[in-house]
Amino acid sequence: MAVELDEGQALVLWCLMLPELRRAAAAGRWSERLERTAALVRDGGSALDACRRFDLVPGADSDSSFRGIGDPPGVTGAYPDPRGPRPPSTGRGEYRCPRGVCGRHDRRDDEGRPPVCALFDDEPMLPTGSPR
């Protein structure tokens, strides 16, 4: 059974998983393909298509033509679940997307660093009370 995500949920999932995808892509030598897809999403393309392309949607029928021999089937266990009320948190204060593009909210990491947006080149996320 496929997991049903809408475009907004897929964008949150894509943003959360992009750092892990980049690590896997660097190890598997498919970074160029990943960065082309990331650029498409950054420019307003479908995050849902990108998530499907890189097998981030459990139970979805993925198009195997996008994956090369030896490439991992995707990153499993996407955490936190974008459908949950809020991601697990540490530290103080809540942060939001720096560009106001997606509904991702996050908190500081265990070392107290504010979260960053992987989609927009690790741009720091903004405190939820800040304008923009």
* pLDDT, block means (10 residues), the chain with 132 residues: 80 93 94 96 95 84 43 41 44 82 89 90 86 64
DSSP state of 124: E
Q: What is the pTM of this model?
A: 0.68
**The two three-digit tokens of residue 66, written as one number:** 């996008």
Beta carbons within 10 angstroms of residue 19's beta carbon:
13
Peptide bond into 19 cis (omega under 30): no
Q: What's the pLDDT at 83? A: 41
DSSP per position, 82-102: TTSSS----SS--EE-TTS-S
CA pair distance 95, 87, nearest whole angstrom: 11
d(CA 23, CA 94): 26
The pLDDT of residue 36 is 96
Q: What is the pLDDT of residue 131?
A: 66
| pLDDT recorded at residue 121 | 86
Task: Give residue 129's pLDDT.
Answer: 73
Rounded CA-CA distance 64/17 in Å is 19
